[in-house]
Amino acid sequence: MDAESTESAARWDFFISYTAADREWAEWIAWHLEVAGYTVLVQAWDFVPGSHWASRMDEGIRACARTLAVLSRAYLRSVYGQAEWEGAYQADPAGFARRLVPVRVEDCPRPGLLGGVVSFDLFGLAADEARTRLLAQIAAIRRGRDKPAAEPPFPGGAPAADPSRATGTPR
């Protein structure tokens, strides 16, 4: 199944996987994704009284196009966080559908299999810059590439002060 058909079959665009220590980050990410028009399943808002927590977690992994794992040292120690990211990883072990997307909210390692999944960072940024990066990375994830809108600068420019290089004259 390709990424587009996975997205169209999904009930939500994103499941936010996080641990209690990172709830503020999870809610901030979810808020900005929803403002941008994405559908999000996040425990803080969607696991209301009467919900069966484990069933909702399983539904999040299965019925969302992608799982955003909010990575921190606390998350990496979380048994439930590990179960969530591993579920998303197992659904797409080669990463072609980009089902698991690690989002680092602090400078922390990405051990084991998680280390092989490309992530992006939101820590150390001002709020506007973090929001811009979040939405730009989400757009790239959905497209499957991140080609710049403008031509990159030519990397092989010769220094203007060296006339022999500009004219091809031997030194």
Q: 109-126, pLDDT tens digit by residue?
A: 999 999 999 999 999 999
pLDDT at residue 51 above 90? no
* Residue 128 resides in a domain: yes
* Residue 63 resides in a domain: yes
16, 30 contact by CB (below 8 A): yes
43, 20 contact by CB (below 8 A): no
158, 165 contact by CB (below 8 A): yes
* Domain assignment of residue 115, given as a range: 10-141
159, 165 contact by CB (below 8 A): yes
* Residue 166 resides in a domain: no
Q: pLDDT confidence of 1, banded at 50, 70, 90?
A: very low
H or E element at residue 65? strand 64-71
103, 42 contact by CB (below 8 A): no
* Residue 75 resides in a domain: yes
Residues 6+ apart with CB under 8 A from 103: 29, 68, 69, 70, 71, 119, 120, 121, 122, 134, 137
Quote the number of domains for the chain.
Answer: 1
* Residue 4 resides in a domain: no
* Residue 5 resides in a domain: no
pLDDT at residue 7 above 70? no
* Residue 72 resides in a domain: yes
pLDDT tens-digit readout, 61-114:
889 999 999 999 999 999 999 999 999 999 999 999 999 999 999 999 999 999
* Residue 134 resides in a domain: yes
User: CATH no. for residue 135?
Assistant: 3.40.50.10140
Greater pLDDT, 12 or 166: 12
